[in-house]
Structure 1
Amino acid sequence: MVDFINEVEEELRKDEYNRLLKKFGPLIVAVIVAIIAATGYMEWQKSSADRMARAVSVAYVQAGEKANAGNTQGAIVDFIAISEKSPAGYAGLSLMRAAALELEAGNRDRAVSLFDQAASVFEKPRHKQLAQLKAGYILAGDGRYDDVRSRMAPLAAQDQPYEDLARELLGFAAMRSGDMGAAREQFSYLDSIPGVLDTVQARASQYLSLMKTDDAAKAPAPTDTTVTPPTEETSTSNEGDQ
């Protein structure tokens, strides 16, 4: 009797299993197929990305070798071509290299443009701001101080990765533009705040010293020649009068 009951229960379980399999079997198969397809696609993507990275790396090295051999324009063309078909990191780095080569060739406006392109391509803020900072140095060297101030202001915000260098550029641009108040503000900050890069702090101190010397040289001479600086003798005489 017990065996009969067990057999019946087994048959009922089989019937329930077959019923569920008939109902949900296609969905389960579809899910399994989707998982296998997604896994295969991810592996294919990873393999393709690895192949692309290797190809880009080889092309980047070859462009650098071309630049070292003296073929500057050819290297610039290659670096720009690399930037057009590479991931963000390599694209930005290639544009930076092309910009540096343009700068060496004396094409300063073109270098600024390429640094700007690199900044727009990079994904990480530190990389973006490095490209912007390099463009700022070129503009400062060309005396385009308004451009420097507009570009460097966001980079000089507190806790930005290149805050010290951006503030230094802002101070320099202000000083050369004749805005001594703004220049002192930046250089005084860099000279007094802990944690500023040693080299930047030293230059800020030098700029402040130069500005003080320049102010002293420009100070107007007294127009009334009868006015003399107070001495110990005149001070005693005045006290007697009182």
Structure 2
Amino acid sequence: MVDFINEVEEELRKDEYNRLLRRYGPILLSIIIIVVIIAGIIEFRKYSEDKAARATSASYVSASDKAAAGETLTAISDFLSLSEEAPSGYSGLALMRAAALQLESGNNIEAVRLFDSASTRFSLPRHSQLAEIKAAYILASEGQYSDVINRLGPLAQKDAPYEFLARELLGLSAFASGDKNLAREQFSYLEFIPGVPPNIRDRAKQSLSLMKANVINSDGAETENNSGSITTEKPDGN
């Protein structure tokens, strides 16, 4: 009797399972198919991105090798081509390399244009502002001090990635353009604010001392009483 009851219950369970399967089976099957398709798309996208990243890296290394071998024009062309195809980070980096090569070749205005373009290709502010700082240094060397001052305002804000470099160049450009008050403000800030790198602080102190004697040249080089000279080097970091 017990076996008979168990068999009946088992049949009832099977019937209920089959009923649910007929009712919800197509839905479950559709869900499974969708999940499999999504997983496949994700894996394919990951594979494609990895493949593209490897190709981009190889192209960048190839262009760098050409630059090192003295094939400047070819390297510039390759970097520019890469900047149009690569993801944002590599695109900005390729433009900065092309800009640096243009600068080495004496094409300063083109170098500024490329650094400006590179600054728009990075997602991280630090990288973008580095490109902007490099462009500002070139413009300062060209004597375009008003343009430099306008560019450096946002870069010289407190806690900006290259605040101290921007303030130093802003001070030199301000003095060269005749704005001694702005120059003195920047150099004084660099002299007393905590956290300024020692080399930048020392140059700021030196600039303030020379300002008192009114002997700073407009190009960033410094002389004292027309005898001897002290050169303000372009710093490498913040």
Q: In which range does the TM-score fall when normalised by the shorter chain?
A: 0.7 to 0.9
Query: Shift of the alpha carbon at 1:149?
Result: 1.5
> Where do residues 1-242 of structure 1 align in structure 2 (5 Å cutoff)?
1-214=1-214
Map Cα deviations across residues 12-63 of structure 1 (whole Å, 9 max, x no partner). 2222222222222112112211222222222212221222122111211111
Secondary structure of the 2:213 match is helix
**Equivalents in 1 of 2:62, 2:157: separation in Å?**
39
Identity %: 58
Secondary structure of the 1:116 match is helix
Instruction: Report the more deviating stretch, 128-137 or 59-68.
Output: 59-68
Map Cα deviations across residues 111-155 of structure 1 (whole Å, 9 max, x no partner). 011011111111111111111111111111111112111211111
Query: Shift of the alpha carbon at 1:104?
Result: 0.7
Instruction: Report the more deviating stretch, 158-167 or 12-21.
Output: 12-21
**Equivalents in 1 of 2:121, 2:188: separation in Å?**
35
Between structures 1 and 2, the one with greater helix share: 1
**Equivalents in 2 of 1:110, 1:58: separation in Å?**
26
Secondary structure of the 1:94 match is helix
**Equivalents in 1 of 2:146, 2:2: separation in Å?**
97
Query: Shift of the alpha carbon at 1:11?
Result: 2.3
Query: Shift of the alpha carbon at 1:197?
Result: 1.4
**Equivalents in 2 of 1:55, 1:36: separation in Å?**
28
Query: Shift of the alpha carbon at 1:93?
Result: 0.6
Gapped regions of structure 1 (runs ≥ 5): 216-242
Give the TM-score normalised by the residue count of structure 2.
Answer: 0.86
Gapped regions of structure 2 (runs ≥ 5): 216-238
- CA root-mean-square deviation: 1.4
Paired amino acid for 2:38: A
**Equivalents in 2 of 1:12, 1:150: separation in Å?**
83
Secondary structure of the 2:160 match is coil
**Equivalents in 2 of 1:78, 1:205: separation in Å?**
44
**Equivalents in 2 of 1:32, 1:146: separation in Å?**
64
Look up the match of 2:232: none
Query: Shift of the alpha carbon at 1:174?
Result: 0.8
**Equivalents in 2 of 1:7, 1:43: separation in Å?**
47
Q: Which has the higher contact order (CA 8 A, sep 6+)?
A: 2
